[in-house]
Structure 1
């Protein structure tokens, strides 16, 4: 971050009185009686079936905290939400709450848009993320290789960094993939990918564990899967709570666009206005298609070189694993031993960071998700981490003062994950 931006952060932090406006105190502006276009609700849904019932109304499910779901419902969706019969509490006008987070007075001259609002300038926008990656290449040219795997819908590069003791050589070593920021508003995930990069480059020369892992693995990191959505979420100078990519006219949800069980099971929407719109066909989003192409290209001699994968999201503090499209613990392509290995590693990682481990469908049914595709097509051991916070305050927008602690919180989980990435079944005493 530039000195100018650091000065901006220092100047505004003293004026910031709260992390986020209390959700139950938002009211209409004086003199108005209009219904909010988007309303925040808390719903009590005790079972995966009830949570799936909520998701299928088309509302934007923001996160979960035990049986509590926090959702955004547009006016047209509220009747369907109420028709579920589940207990629900109106928490107020979403757009008023987003506006209360504050506007930025800093315009990035290189992109011509507003940057993150005051109190959030420590987050990396697209240009700053690219600058960080390029600086890593400068600092650690012997450990990293930077490349673009293709373009987003709005023609931004999808940058990927390889970390290896021989980054220019395709070695016969287990490969690990980290992807961040499929959903635009989940800015903390970009910071998570950038932390992984720094941990496994800056510490290579001094930390024997890091050195051993880098010497015996090839690590691929894609810090910003959805750069168009990121820039749109902050372009007005205040957050828009934008989730999808920027394909016309309302965007596609990248994490419902993957081509395994795409649109099969009521875990996505065929309506372009829905937050979980799966697109007109699998991989219709260029961002998911380019990652698909990269992963498909790592099949060498009939063997998939990528062994493990984490897709980082916010929020709810969860660790999830396949399948998401069915409530069953096992299904075609996922037997009892594999399910046990997924769960055991998931629980072990959760013991290090305090997250809740569970099979994805224990939350609610999803289809066309990245984890199901990675496992269902390539047998890549694929997890989703839903990061901080646990609940709706501060939701997707924790202040930048929390970035360091909430990314460092996953250091041990990442190390454990990399340790078992050569053969995940080792964690249950089985061979590969």
Structure 2
């Protein structure tokens, strides 16, 4: 869909008034109510409205803006006058609102403004109509598809990390569902199929018609909502929310629970001008500088991943309801602060949620939009038009979860503006990532989780295979494994999915030391049926893998318990007079990855400066402040261990007699040579690495190698093409019985088979840990007049408590001077 003409509307009234006057909505008092539930009667308190006719077939945009710098909270909704049906709405916390949706020429509309809260008695209304060319029709000078093509889901076989990176570089829509042997990929049409065929990758079709699946899911969602009065979710919700519902529910929870819930707006509006809203839940919630550890849950970096926001929203209800009815949750809320941002990518989600359920993944399938609405990186001919209707369609934008500074520019992100994982022009170029950066940098976020769909995974750092895990790896793994035991997901490092650079936790963890995880929810698509993707997954009900284990609700509770555990973070104690302000500050530079260029070359890494600056307001006397370790994990060192025993002797793999039949469908077809072997363990041997290798004569023949454990699960594989050997690798393998499965994928000449030979299992010892320098925070104290009265350096490790003494006294400052 391409943008044509913009037609500004002069709002008409029954009696002639000036244009300036008619574009101002007025209400003498505020009334906390839904503006989008329906058209309210004339002269209803707290409401003003205008009637207008659409001048085009295209988009209506109804915007509110504060008048004369006034403060307050106004909402806006647009209705079809004839049917009373809601067309669009916006319910952010202030008076900056944008309600946008599709209309037809001559359609009679009611634009309703509602004063929800605050002192502002008036607000400026602007209504524009944007004429649009029919969907898919080329704009002059711009090539576009003339008709959508059939989309399908395929599974691409990937032998190793190099294959996964090669696959990512093809520019296809790679999903988050992957394992040691392959990756699920969306093929949007014949052009994608041609790219995949010419790449040489092997693949099989899992779903031949994603569009049919999308329509069926939408139909079943309607049926489910119509027959279900209330679910067992904390909110009782029965269907996916719209953006205006998220924002309205958050501020309603804050209004009804003012001592427990605080709604807030993040500092950077989106490209389209939307405010991003979050809530904080804690006892005495207004005192954000009380020293409690902060547990941050966020969702919807990717627009089409609707269940992620639903889970985040249900967690808010869980905490609010639990404070009154659950002793454990009440106790946790007394010891922690919880920040929840259900919709990080407000622009993208608003478009995806309101779009037609096509599911064909074509350029103009806005329902399946993944990225934000950044237009500046697109070629000039694609920069025109609003995000919901532009010449590039859903292809335009940046992937927010590839735009953080952590390893930005490396493998695992696209360099192309149209790629689904496009990294953006620079680290933190996008308002969405800058919002999270500012939040994390100015609060002691000890625990962070970002929600996505899909693949039933709990992912931890690092996201890049070539990066050795941090010193915290055992702790990170233990918490990830615990959460995975609740929802039935797989716990693994992010790189085990495939390389991902520029992700949320790969910046937040390495820069701050706060635990960071990604949870990939469900197995059935980006936004499957609500009953499965939300209700079952959150509560731990069939058919979810977490059925009977607690589901994601229990996993979120595990994260919250970890945040409340002093051993999981660091603690500062000391004394300070009432009303004095303590501040912890640290400023540093961290390099990105060497920056990959579109032509395959690399440029030097970019150094990104971060400043961490958190505060505590002293209540008088003794204080306790939960903080992250002073040494950031990026420089603290890398995980490893000293050998505790000798390395196991190599094992030869004997080739059984005969050649197995060709098999291109392993593991669904188990045909292959099977050779058992044993990996020994402590105290006899200490194996840090195991490499299983086979060889054969000519690269024209193709053998594949898989290693399965005693439970029959594939734990590693190697399935390359155009080679005469395969090597499958395991790191720190558990002792036990394993089987090498050698699969005859294809023969150069079946009449004279080229059998494999030279099979062997070789072992190497563990890599010892490495350690970097210790870093400190600068701790300062200011009195009630803002004067600096205390200053000292603080070194503190995870699980450690450091007494900083009477840091606000002159004697403390003198001690600091003597140390110099």
TM-score, structure 1 normalization: 0.80
Task: Give the whole-Å Cα distance in 1 for the aligned partners of 2:495 and 2:566.
Answer: 21
Deviation at 1:329, TM superposition (A): 3.9
3-state SS, counterpart of residue 204 of structure 2: strand
More displaced 10-residue stretch of structure 1: 229-238 or 34-43: 34-43
Match of 1:165 among 277, 283, 308: 283
3-state SS, counterpart of residue 516 of structure 2: strand
Task: Name the residue aligned to 1:387.
Answer: 521
Match of 1:321 among 441, 460, 465: 460
Deviation at 1:83, TM superposition (A): 4.3
**1:352 maps onto 2:471 in alignment:** no
Deviation at 1:422, TM superposition (A): 4.3
How do 1:32-431 residues align onto structure 2 when only pairs under 5 Å count?
36=149, 38-64=151-177, 66=179, 67-74=181-188, 75-90=190-205, 91-95=207-211, 97-99=213-215, 101-102=217-218, 122-150=239-267, 151-169=269-287, 170-239=289-358, 240-248=367-375, 249=383, 250-263=396-409, 265-298=410-443, 305-330=444-469, 334-335=470-471, 338-388=472-522, 390=523, 394-402=524-532, 403-408=534-539, 409-422=551-564, 426=568, 431=799
Deviation at 1:291, TM superposition (A): 1.4
Q: Hey, which of these two has a bigger chunk of strand by percent? A: 2
Task: Name the residue aligned to 1:27.
Answer: none
Structure 2 contact 404–433 (Cα < 8 Å) conserved:
yes
Task: Give the whole-Å Cα distance in 1 for the aligned partners of 2:371 and 2:169.
Answer: 17
Task: Give the whole-Å Cα distance in 1 for the aligned partners of 2:350 and 2:246.
Answer: 12
What 5-or-longer segments of structure 2 have no aligned partner? 1-33, 39-146, 226-237, 359-366, 376-382, 384-395, 540-550, 570-797, 801-820
Deviation at 1:208, TM superposition (A): 1.4
Structure 2 contact 454–521 (Cα < 8 Å) conserved:
yes
Task: Give the whole-Å Cα distance in 1 for the aligned partners of 2:372 and 2:292.
Answer: 33
Deviation at 1:117, TM superposition (A): 7.1
Structure 1 contact 98–238 (Cα < 8 Å) conserved:
yes
Deviation at 1:69, TM superposition (A): 2.2
Q: Hey, which of these two has a bigger chunk of helix by percent? A: 1
Deviation at 1:94, TM superposition (A): 4.3
Q: CA RMSD in A?
A: 2.7
Task: Give the whole-Å Cα distance in 2 for the aligned partners of 1:118 and 1:46.
Answer: 42
3-state SS, counterpart of residue 141 of structure 1: coil
Task: Give the whole-Å Cα distance in 2 for the aligned partners of 1:101 and 1:307.
Answer: 38
Return closer, same or farther for 1:210/1:252 CA change in 2, 3 Å cut-off. Answer: same
3-state SS, counterpart of residue 323 of structure 2: coil
Return the structure number with greater relative CO, CA threshold 8 A, min gap 6.
Answer: 1
Return closer, same or farther for 1:371/1:86 CA change in 2, 3 Å cut-off. Answer: same
Deviation at 1:99, TM superposition (A): 4.7
What 5-or-longer segments of structure 1 have no aligned partner? 5-33, 105-115, 299-304
TM-score, structure 2 normalization: 0.43
Return closer, same or farther for 1:359/1:168 CA change in 2, 3 Å cut-off. Answer: same
Deviation at 1:50, TM superposition (A): 2.8
Structure showing greater Rg: 2
Aligned length, in residue pairs: 375
Structure 2 contact 217–528 (Cα < 8 Å) conserved:
no
Task: Give the whole-Å Cα distance in 2 for the aligned partners of 1:370 and 1:416.
Answer: 20
Task: Give the whole-Å Cα distance in 1 for the aligned partners of 2:321 and 2:215.
Answer: 38
Return closer, same or farther for 1:195/1:99 CA change in 2, 3 Å cut-off. Answer: closer
Task: Name the residue aligned to 1:109.
Answer: none
* 1:129-176 deviation line (CA, Å, top 9, x unaligned): 011112211332110100101311111111110111011102111111
Task: Give the whole-Å Cα distance in 2 for the aligned partners of 1:3 and 1:168.
Answer: 30
Task: Give the whole-Å Cα distance in 1 for the aligned partners of 2:405 and 2:566.
Answer: 24
Task: Give the whole-Å Cα distance in 2 for the aligned partners of 1:96 and 1:284.
Answer: 37
Task: Give the whole-Å Cα distance in 2 for the aligned partners of 1:55 and 1:425.
Answer: 39
More displaced 10-residue stretch of structure 1: 352-361 or 63-72: 63-72
Deviation at 1:46, TM superposition (A): 4.8
Deviation at 1:53, TM superposition (A): 2.5
Deviation at 1:103, TM superposition (A): 7.5
* 1:266-287 deviation line (CA, Å, top 9, x unaligned): 2101101100001111111111
Structure 1 contact 38–72 (Cα < 8 Å) conserved:
yes
Task: Give the whole-Å Cα distance in 2 for the aligned partners of 1:398 and 1:63.
Answer: 15
Task: Give the whole-Å Cα distance in 1 for the aligned partners of 2:284 and 2:159.
Answer: 50
